[in-house]
A = this chain, B = another copy of it.
Amino acid sequence: MSKSVLFSDITIVTPHDDAPVSVCEHAYCAVAGNAIVYVGDSKEEAEAALSGMGDVSYETYDGTNKILCPTFANAHAHTPMTIFRNIADDKSLQDWLFGEILPREDKMVPDDFYYGNLLTLAEMISSGTGCCANMYTGSVQIAKGCVEAGFRIQQSVDGKRCQDGNWSVDRENVQELLSYIADIQSDLVKPSLIVHSIYLYPEYFYSRIADLAREYSLPITVHISETIRENEDCVRQYGCSPVKKLDSFGFLTDTTVAAHCVHLSDEDRSILADRKVWVAHNPGSNMKLASGVADMAAMQKAGVRLCLGTDGAASNNNQDMYWEMRLASFLAKGTTYDPTVLPAEEVFKMATRNGYLACGFDDCGIIEKGMRADIQIIDYDCPQMWPLGNPLSALVYSCGPRCVESVMIDGRFVLRNRELLTIDMEKVKAETKAIMQRLQ
């Protein structure tokens, strides 16, 4: 059990479910166990809240020139792909995926998933991210690393088996992850099921994997309409858009995370809004792979639920949610000639509260009493954040990984004074370098 902590005289920036993002200076936040037990402007009340929990030996964290806000929940990642970082750039999605990435992925072994994932967790944690929705195989190896590192994850499982051209569901693979999650008795890991996209499986397989999802009540993680070509191929093969085809199998529900959604019709957006799908916007990857610019203003207008992701490190090429927030806002403004679109408040909420809801962690992403203590501390005593101005604007438009001083997940410090506390970086670096070289 971690020692209780009183974050003292600090600036708290947080979204809320039914109110605008709030900024409170000279505030106090008390953490006991894995939960926030007090947020407000009274030191005495914060101390009383900790005393009431029986914690008299809590630690005080000095909040001078610091901002406290929720950690980010990255709503679309492929964590082991850090080992493919900076090996194939300035290429189209088709050339990059089929020419560079899939041939390497075919050669991966279990340890590769484990160490590739840990490298990503190190990058995520040190840049303020405390959770991700992860679409990748190697589920148990990845989940194991997350539990060791103290990182929150919605980890997907691959439910397909393909032998001699015949596709069937892989019930064992699903059961293996679910058993692992049941055994560890940790709140850090939740499962989801991969439906890669409308273009990767034979048609007959989609209804089988849909049945599998229903059988185990698994949320779906899926790529939708990432490229124009995907849409054109879908119309040619199925006579409708990827959204409509996937919806016909029942894949679109209020627990589904749909990544990209770059090329949508009004009807597509209406379906996504009606089904309450979480759309994970991935501006960095979409731009780098030249997939196009998702129309965020239209999605907002249609009432689509929005969150934010980095995609894998092989197509971005980092896992920095600060970069992604700023890019999302800038892209939306610059391509619509409207500087009020996606203001700081909205991208901040997408990156925090909405991301946690998309990942299924309803008690994270807000700094309020009773929520889980998933918290990052920003040091604004540095040239890029000075003078602070509006703290919310500063977080979105000026901040970056360099300013992330500490990260707490589920009440446990995993980064403190910029030092990773739960990951053996020397081991991870040596292993991932060797893996990259082996897979070349």
Contacts and interface: CB of A to CB of B under 8 A. Distances in A.
A317 B383 CA distance: 12
A369 B341 CA distance: 49
A123 B383 CA distance: 5
A155 interface: no
A218 to B, nearest CB: 30
Given A400-B320, A400-B400, A331 B87 contact: no
A344 interface: yes
B86 A293 contact: no
Interface string A73-89: 00000000011111101
Interface in A314-363: 316-320, 323, 326-327, 329-331, 333-341, 343-344
B389 A85 contact: yes
Given A330-B284, A344-B89, A393-B89, A127 B384 contact: yes
Interface stretch (A132-140, A162-170, A193-201, A425-433): A425-433
B384 A320 contact: yes
Contacts of A291: 334, 337
A393 B390 CA distance: 34
Nearest to A123: B383
Contact of A87 (B86, B318, B389): B389
Given A390-B87, A398-B318, A334 B292 contact: yes
Q: How many copies does the complex hold?
A: 2
Contacts of A401: 384, 400, 402
Contacts of A387: 82-83, 85, 429, 432-433, 436
Nearest to A93: B339
Nearest to A262: B334
Interface string A374-403: 000000011110111110011001101110
A90 interface: yes
Contacts of A384: 123, 126-127, 318-320, 401
A289 interface: yes
A381 B288 CA distance: 24
Given A386-B432, A387-B432, A402-B400, A333 B290 contact: yes
A21 interface: no
Contact of A390 (B86, B334, B388): B86
A46 B223 CA distance: 53
Interface of A: 82-87, 89-93, 96, 119-120, 122-123, 126-127, 228, 284, 286-293, 313, 316-320, 323, 326-327, 329-331, 333-341, 343-344, 381-384, 386-390, 393-394, 397-398, 400-402, 425, 429, 432-433, 436
Closest 4 CB pairs of A and B: A86-B389, A287-B334, A287-B330, A123-B383
Given A122-B383, A288-B329, 4 more contacts: A85-B394, A286-B334, A292-B337, A323-B323
